Amino acid sequence: MKTAFLFFAFAFVALSTFGQVSGKLTTANGEPLPFVNVLLLNAADSALVKGIMSTALGEYRIENVPGGTYMLRITAIGYKSYHSPSFSLTTPNATKVFETLVLEEDAQQLAEIVVQGEKPLYQQEIDRTVINVENSVLTKGSSALQVLERSPGVFVDMRNNSIALNGKSSVMIMLNGKLVRLPAAQVVAMLNGMSANNIEKIELLTTPTSKYDADGSAGMINIVLKKREEIGTTGSFSATTGYGWKEKGAASVNLSHNTGKVNLYGSYAFLHNRQRDGWVAQSTQNMPAFGGELSVDVSSMQNQNANSHNATLGLDVNATSNTTFGGSVTYNSSRIAREVFNRGNYTIVASDSLLVMRADIAGNSRWRNTIASVFLEHRWREGESLNIDVDYLGYDIENPTDVNTVFFDREGNEATPSGSIFSNRQRGVSSSPIHVGVAKVDYAKQFSKGVRFEGGLKGTFTRSTSTSSIETLENNEWVSSPRYLNDTDMREWIAAGYASMNVQLNASTSLMAGARYEYSHTFANADKDENKIDRRLGKLFPSVFLSKKLGEQSELQFSYTKRISRPSFNDLASFLFYTDPMSVATGNPALQPTVTNNFKIGYNHHGYSFSLTASRDDHPIVLYQEKESPARDLMYNRPENMAYQNNLTFQATLPFTVAKWWTMTYSYVGGLRQFKLDHTQEKLVKTYFAYSFNGSQTFSLPKNFSLELSGWYNSTQYDGSKKLDGFGMLNAGIKKDLNKNWGSLQLSVTDIFKSMRVSGYFGTITEEAFSLKAHFVYGAESANNRIVRLTYSKSFGNVKVKSKSSRDGTSKDERDRIRRN
């Protein structure tokens, strides 16, 4: 009993002598220093007693300190360490309060500090797959389109200038969370001229929430550019040289100055690329206007010389602890000089006559793209915020071409067929300025610990004034035909509102349910009878997301979303563009919008992720389909609606750590697809299995070397009535981190086995227009010449600690989402 009494008495005395140490840390400018190491050491031997980090306000408090004599050691990257004089805590509940301490900057540390963080290549979230491409060896020196091409489930069709996601071409592209409202071909051209050096990550949103625009039945692809938010002055630069068919080069610089209150940032990238690609095709068809049954052999080779500039300048200001405002301007421009050499042999079977075509096309396209954004974010209290964004997008492309065509008979004599379409000299003029204005307001409120509301309004106005024509040289004068003239003025209004509730049903289960209503009015050529369009559409798009945690590292997810794809004006307009002696490219005024319903179940466990998605597309739009003209004198190449498309898609992401120096990540997307063709002579239903596979292996080697092997493969698939064989490529890169923080060198090889050839067919699953049966093969530049790039990159400046602003708070607007890791 006496022993127990002495024990409890000793414990009481010990507890009563526990003390507390507190204080605050700031910079020389009075800014608080968050997340600084504060260590309590024993004064006698400097042994660590306790350690904490300062709060976001720079404050620290060390509690339950036993009686004794101590000293403080305070350390922060970029600042001189601080050691306090020794002090004692001997009286009961003793406290030691240090006055506000100003840490001095360490100029020697500021000269070169690099903070690096490794992220997994793929991250699975409830509505998206995130690909962290920033640290990939293969990213440096590439274009944004080439990086996108290596993403799981993404198919980039360079021959037809289109992008598909999980077998669907109706996908919307976003840049830093902003929709790029441009025709597909112009989006491809923009991404092909954009340097990937400043890309942080790519987000594949197959089931976006109601806060996002409902446009894009296949989902959205968000390309997130780097934005440094560390306190101090930071930056990076890189330079790339390379060679494939011809020389390539790239250079980029990224700068940021962040005081904690003001963040000024900017970047510039230049991309130079001389490349060659082409295709060959063999076909048979029955063209009454051309003499009946034909046998056709054609080829096309294209040389390009592209120079692109990309620049961004932005400013964020933390006006108060609750209010942030700012803006940014992004400018992209590109000039592409093209030389296209088309060759064709047209044999009329009945008469055994031959028409040989040689067409040389010279073009010099120029495009400019400007995105300007301003924002205001305010938090009244924890959990309640208002965000206002106003954006402007201006895009202008000019694409003049000069065509010189010569026809020969079997004996080699010139034999130009009659009709202006077969003129020896033609030229094309095309100008397509597009202006987009967007304003939106988002409000969020945390009603209780487990209930959160989000809602907002958004208005978008788009105007496109497109002028294009084909002129022929007749009697030394350029003459245009109304048949090859497109002069349009298109305007579109989209008004949208959404509301969603996020409810924490219990400790492991959360539910987010919302709905978005969109009303659109599209009209064009209001003062003309030809190509006149006046369409109105209002629809409700619900979404539901349910997640259930099954443990610390496991989660089960369910979701339902509804989306839409509206045809672009280029898809609707009935203009004609001559492509060869028998066919023209045109739009389809009868196109209907696509409405999609998605059901998805997902499971994540220890970094592994699996999902199964069932989707139904009504009236999906497929591009570049063949149709007979009413007079049966031309082949129309135009977009069409299929009756429906059903997809059952399984997706798996599997990361493996074989050893400390060897990691692997694999991604698989595949399943059953079924569609019904309405535009062909036979109303065909086709069911098939398709998949895509992506794999990456990274090796950490001695002497600061690292090696990356990356490959992808797309299986056989169908695009409307067109069949595509499987294709893929394997790439490799090696990186050397130089000593003394002198940066790094990276060497990459694209398409090691020169396998980037795409083989396709018309007339294999159903009878095409004019009984067309065709086989074509597209060869990318790397199919004939491996592309090798060498890049030097370096980060520099003062990297102390990441800035904490209201943008990292509870508000989840678009800017928060695009920065989420």
Q: Is the predicted pLDDT of residue 808 greater than 60, yes or no?
A: no
User: What pLDDT, on the 0 to 100 scale, is given for residue 88?
Assistant: 84
The CATH class, in words, for 122-321+335-793+811-819 is: mainly beta
The stretch 535-562 carries a mean pLDDT of 91
Alpha helices in 473-572 (DSSP H): 569-572
User: What pLDDT, on the 0 to 100 scale, is given for residue 419?
Assistant: 52
Contact indicator for 262, 232 with CB cutoff of 8 Å: no
Which bin fits 677, alpha (ψ -120 to 50), beta or left (φ > 0)?
A: beta
Contact indicator for 452, 446 with CB cutoff of 8 Å: yes
Q: Is the predicted pLDDT of residue 158 greater than 80, yes or no?
A: no
Token code pair at residue 164: 């598909």
Contact indicator for 341, 300 with CB cutoff of 8 Å: yes
User: What pLDDT, on the 0 to 100 scale, is given for residue 807?
Assistant: 39
Q: Is the predicted pLDDT of residue 411 greater than 90, yes or no?
A: no
Per DSSP, 32 falls in state B
Token code pair at residue 103: 């840490």
User: What pLDDT, on the 0 to 100 scale, is given for residue 423?
Assistant: 65
Of residues 171 and 195, the one with the higher pLDDT is 171
For the chain, percent of residues with pLDDT exceeding 70: 88
Q: According to CATH, where is 2.60.40.10 located in the chain?
A: 15-110
3-state secondary structure 89-151: ECCCCCEEECCCEECCECHHHHHCCCCCCCCCCEEEECCEEEECCCCCCCCCCCEHHHHHHCC
Which of 3.20.20.70, 3.40.50.970, 2.60.40.10, 1.20.140.150 would CATH assign to domain 15-110?
Answer: 2.60.40.10
Q: According to CATH, where is 2.40.170.20 located in the chain?
A: 122-321+335-793+811-819
Question: 494 by DSSP, 3-state: which?
Answer: strand
Q: How far apart are CA 600 and CA 613, in angstroms?
A: 4
User: What pLDDT, on the 0 to 100 scale, is given for residue 601?
Assistant: 95
The stretch 81-86 carries a mean pLDDT of 86
Q: Among 59-63, 184-188, 518-522, 652-656, where is mean pLDDT lowest?
A: 184-188
Q: How far apart are CA 86 and CA 98, in angstroms?
A: 12
Instruction: Please state, as a whole number, how many other Cβ atoms lie within 10 Å of the Cβ of residue 703.
Output: 7
Q: Among 50-59, 375-384, 593-602, where is mean pLDDT lowest?
A: 50-59
Q: What angle do CA 89, 94, 100 make, to 5 degrees?
A: 90
| 615 closest CA partner among 217, 114, 39, 170 | 217
Helices (H) and strands (E) in the chain, counts: 6, 49
Q: Is the predicted pLDDT of residue 799 greater than 90, yes or no?
A: no
| 304 closest CA partner among 269, 260, 337, 270 | 337
The one-letter amino acid code at 680 reads T
For the chain, percent of residues with pLDDT exceeding 90: 35
User: What pLDDT, on the 0 to 100 scale, is given for residue 441?
Assistant: 96
| 231 closest CA partner among 92, 463, 48, 29 | 29
Q: How far apart are CA 648 and CA 14, in angstroms?
A: 66
What separation in angstroms does the CA of 524 have from each of 182, 190, 529? 16, 25, 10
Per DSSP, 273 falls in state E
User: What pLDDT, on the 0 to 100 scale, is given for residue 115?
Assistant: 42
pLDDT band for 458, please (50, 70, 90 cuts).
Answer: very high
Token code pair at residue 560: 């339902």
What separation in angstroms does the CA of 189 have from each of 193, 320, 666? 6, 42, 29
Maximal C-alpha separation, the chain: 124
What separation in angstroms does the CA of 150 have from each of 144, 190, 376, 731? 10, 17, 36, 10
Instruction: Output the CA torsion sign for 40, 43, 48, 49.
Output: negative
| 665 closest CA partner among 625, 640, 697 | 697
* Residue 439 neighbours by CB under 8 Å, 6+ apart: 389, 390, 391, 458, 459
Q: How far apart are CA 598 and CA 386, in angstroms?
A: 30
Which residue do the tokens 């920033």 mark?
Answer: 134
Q: Is the predicted pLDDT of residue 622 greater than 80, yes or no?
A: yes
pLDDT band for 612, please (50, 70, 90 cuts).
Answer: very high
Q: How far apart are CA 416 and CA 423, in angstroms?
A: 7
Question: 184 by DSSP, 3-state: which?
Answer: helix
Radius of gyration of the chain (CA): 31
| 296 closest CA partner among 564, 581, 590, 624 | 581
Q: How far apart are CA 454 and CA 447, in angstroms?
A: 11
Q: Is the predicted pLDDT of residue 695 greater than 70, yes or no?
A: yes
What separation in angstroms does the CA of 671 have from each of 47, 154, 168, 485? 60, 15, 13, 43
The stretch 728-752 carries a mean pLDDT of 89
What separation in angstroms does the CA of 43 have from each of 67, 95, 159? 12, 17, 73
pLDDT digits (tens, 9 = 90+) for 90-145: 776 778 888 888 888 765 544 444 444 456 667 777 778 888 877 677 777 677 88
Q: How far apart are CA 117 and CA 200, in angstroms?
A: 12
- Complete DSSP assignment for 228-245: --BSEEEEEEEEEEEESS
The per-residue pLDDT of the chain, averaged, comes to 83
User: What pLDDT, on the 0 to 100 scale, is given for residue 810?
Assistant: 29
Q: How far apart are CA 821 and CA 798, in angstroms?
A: 23
pLDDT digits (tens, 9 = 90+) for 742-777: 888 989 999 999 999 999 999 999 999 899 999 999
Q: Is the predicted pLDDT of residue 7 greater than 60, yes or no?
A: no
User: What pLDDT, on the 0 to 100 scale, is given for residue 574?
Assistant: 64
- Complete DSSP assignment for 385-427: EEEEEEEEEEEEEE--EEEEEEEE-TTS-B-PPSSGGG-SEEE
Q: How far apart are CA 733 and CA 755, in angstroms?
A: 17
pLDDT digits (tens, 9 = 90+) for 195-237: 777 788 888 888 888 888 888 888 888 988 877 666 788 888 8
| 772 closest CA partner among 538, 621, 580 | 580
The one-letter amino acid code at 704 reads N
Terminal CA-to-CA distance of the chain, rounded, Å? Answer: 59
Contact indicator for 334, 308 with CB cutoff of 8 Å: yes
Of residues 816 and 797, the one with the higher pLDDT is 797
| 171 closest CA partner among 674, 573, 621, 725 | 621
User: What pLDDT, on the 0 to 100 scale, is given for residue 576?
Assistant: 64
pLDDT band for 676, please (50, 70, 90 cuts).
Answer: very high
User: What pLDDT, on the 0 to 100 scale, is given for residue 529?
Assistant: 62
Contact indicator for 494, 512 with CB cutoff of 8 Å: no
Q: Is the predicted pLDDT of residue 6 greater than 50, yes or no?
A: no
Q: How far apart are CA 259 and CA 270, in angstroms?
A: 29
pLDDT band for 284, please (50, 70, 90 cuts).
Answer: very high
For 475, phi then psi, to 5°, come to: 55, 45
pLDDT band for 546, please (50, 70, 90 cuts).
Answer: very high
For 367, phi then psi, to 5°, come to: -135, 150
Token code pair at residue 700: 């950490």
Q: Is the predicted pLDDT of residue 482 greater than 80, yes or no?
A: no
Q: Count how many Cα atoms sit within 13 Å of the Cα of residue 209 in the half-sphere of its side chain.
A: 23
Instruction: Output the CA torsion sign for 585, 587, 588, 593.
Output: positive
| 373 closest CA partner among 815, 679, 816, 22 | 815
- CA 359 to chain centroid, in Å, comes to 36
Contact indicator for 164, 211 with CB cutoff of 8 Å: no
User: What pLDDT, on the 0 to 100 scale, is given for residue 527?
Assistant: 62
pLDDT band for 578, please (50, 70, 90 cuts).
Answer: low
Of residues 810 and 539, the one with the higher pLDDT is 539
User: What pLDDT, on the 0 to 100 scale, is given for residue 245?
Assistant: 96
Of residues 328 and 553, the one with the higher pLDDT is 328
- CA 576 to chain centroid, in Å, comes to 32
Of residues 337 and 533, the one with the higher pLDDT is 337
Q: How far apart are CA 740 and CA 750, in angstroms?
A: 30
- With 0-12 CB in 10 A as exposed, 13-18 as middle and 19+ as buried, what is 137? buried
Most confident range, picked from 51-55, 356-360, 799-803: 356-360
The stretch 80-89 carries a mean pLDDT of 85
pLDDT band for 818, please (50, 70, 90 cuts).
Answer: very low
